[in-house]
Amino acid sequence: MPAGERPVKHLRLLPCLIAFGLSACATRPEAPAAAGTSANPITVPQITRPQQETAQWWFTAGAAAAHANVGATPPRAKNVIVFLGDGMSITTIAAAHILAGQRQGKDGESTRLAFETLPYTALSRTYETDSQTPDSAGTMTAIMSGVKTKAGFIGVGQGALRSDCASTRGNELLSMLELAELAGMATGAVTTTKLTHATPAATYGHLPERNWEADVNVKESEKGGDCADFARQLIENPFGDGLEVALGGGRENFMLPTQRDPEEPGRPGKRLDQRDLVAQWSARPGAAYVWNKEQFDKVDIGATRHLLGLFERSHMKFDHDRQNPAAEPGRVAADEPSLAEMTRTALKLLKKNPKGYFLMVEGGRIDHAHHAGNAYRALTDTIAFADAVQVALDDTDAADTLIVVTADHSHTMTFAGYPQRGNPMMGLVHGGSDFEDSGESLALDQGQQPYTTLGYANGPGYTGATDTQPEGPKTFPHYYKKLLGAPKGRPDLRKVDTTAPDYMQEATVPFMGESHGGEDVAIFARGPGAQAFHGELEQNVIFHIIVQSAPLLRAKLCASGSCNADKVPVKLPDRASLLGK
């Protein structure tokens, strides 16, 4: 076996794989069929990884792994909701549930966030085809298409070239949302980021460059060519009748330079192609557009077929800042809905379709707070994300709705020391630096300085002086261009309020922005097909479990020629042919 080869176990080769051009590699001997699964063989060929990985290989491997968990008798999920906590590492979840409990005056350690109550769990491997530590573009593409790909790619297989429009042709991947539209289901994407940001864009978009959010971004790229930007792809989605619900931020990517932002009059739109995308959306029968909470609350669900909400020029506010608005020069104050409120309204609209629906809900700013080195906003946005999950649990039936909660990648936030039970989650550690010395006294490092439970392996919380903030504890937000050093060492935190929302946890390595982490993230699930989420899964398997558990999605792939004799979708669907091109 070649070095580096990691064969998929307990999977058997389909005879029809020969027709897919995958028979060149040797196969493993067939394993006995597991109880409750089909006796017909399903596997993938052995390959030398990563050199022989292809989009087709990833799709077939994901299908086989999912089928081994789903079994021969498929579940029947009418509706599918995917909740994505962007950057929501397991450390983030643990710290967030402790903080949530403590804010309620409860025992935080035993508190559970809404999604932590779901009955089935698994781990997800998040690496991309070219990166150990991934980004949101490639990871969400894996979840939405069943195919792992490169960092920075959205809805495009690894055969394309970064920022090269022409290389996209033939490498576009069919997304779960597009598949749902083909099946006649209602679809929606809800996020606290820009609707054109990596995670939501992966539900509907196809570009080899995550930063092509508006046409101006494409034009500025040397090989942007004639590719349509993500904002345009969202509005002009060619599948079915397009998205029924799109709620988030990012107004500037949909507006013309002659138009001024309603909240920030000094900021014009970014589009140079003369396409007023808000007007295009609004021109459709039954379409509505809102940009603030007052308008959002007045939406007539019965009369609305398509709802677009763009609540900020850029990303929506962190949940803490939404609830505690501060005056900003040049800005007209306007409230915006919470993620939970957007989720509730989206479900009301999507439920109007008797065939069912697909909805993606992202807590996107968990990731941004981590990048900023601010654990408080990361954790409070995680709690707000859990509130949105609770809405879905309350408003859906576990008998017909599959709910999957996961993350795209992790972050470097650390949970360390030996704090005693009940220690304030955002506070200094009381308990000791050595487990044997754990108690109620203030814990000190080897330099006799106190420290917090939470920290970051890297990021802008490094205590050295910069060109914008002096040496010592940093205050959110900390943007800088030049690092000046930390000759005084770690600061004395005894007189610092580390529980303050703007306190930035210390970072070991100075980075302008904290980085992602490469470890596994968690998956939680409830509903038809949820039992298939167990063990450690490649991230692209999430797509396949969902599709194999939802009859309409599965049937639409089978009708396109993707399925084997057991009606398991194993062949990568041809997106262009499904569009009739």
Q: Which residues pair with 455 in a beta bridge?
A: 414
Q: Is 28 helix (H, G, I), strand (E, B) or coil?
A: coil
Beta strands, E only, 185-321: 186-194, 245-249, 287-290, 306-310
Cα within 13 Å of Cα(403), Cβ side: 26
Give phi and psi for 233, each to the nearest 5: -65, -35
Pick the closest to residue 463 from 496, 428, 423, 420 (CA basis): 496
CB of 233 closer than 8 Å to CB of 253: no
3-state DSSP: the chain helix, strand, coil percent, rounded to 5? 30, 15, 55
Pick the closest to residue 86 from 141, 35, 140, 150 (CA basis): 140
Question: Does the annotation count 136 as an active-site position?
Answer: yes
Pick the closest to residue 93 from 322, 461, 370 (CA basis): 370
Residue-wise DSSP of 429-487: -BS-SSGGG-SSSBP--TTS---BSEEEEEETT--SEESSS-SSSEESS---S-EEE-T
Q: Which residues pair with 350 in a beta bridge?
A: none
Instruction: Give, to the nearest 10 degrees, the angle between helix 90-103 and helix 375-395.
Output: 80
Q: Which residues pair with 288 in a beta bridge?
A: 307
CB of 446 closer than 8 Å to CB of 426: no
Cα within 13 Å of Cα(534), Cβ side: 11
Query: For residue 3, how many other CB atoms are within 10 A of its CB?
Result: 5
Cα within 13 Å of Cα(244), Cβ side: 28
Query: For residue 329, how many other CB atoms are within 10 A of its CB?
Result: 5
CB of 272 closer than 8 Å to CB of 257: yes
CB of 171 closer than 8 Å to CB of 226: no
Q: Which residues pair with 428 in a beta bridge?
A: 452
Catalytic residue among 89, 136, 145, 562: 136
Beta strands, E only, 102-160: 120-125
Q: Using CA atoms, how far apart are residues 182 and 355, in angstroms rounded to an integer? A: 12
Residues with a known catalytic role: 136
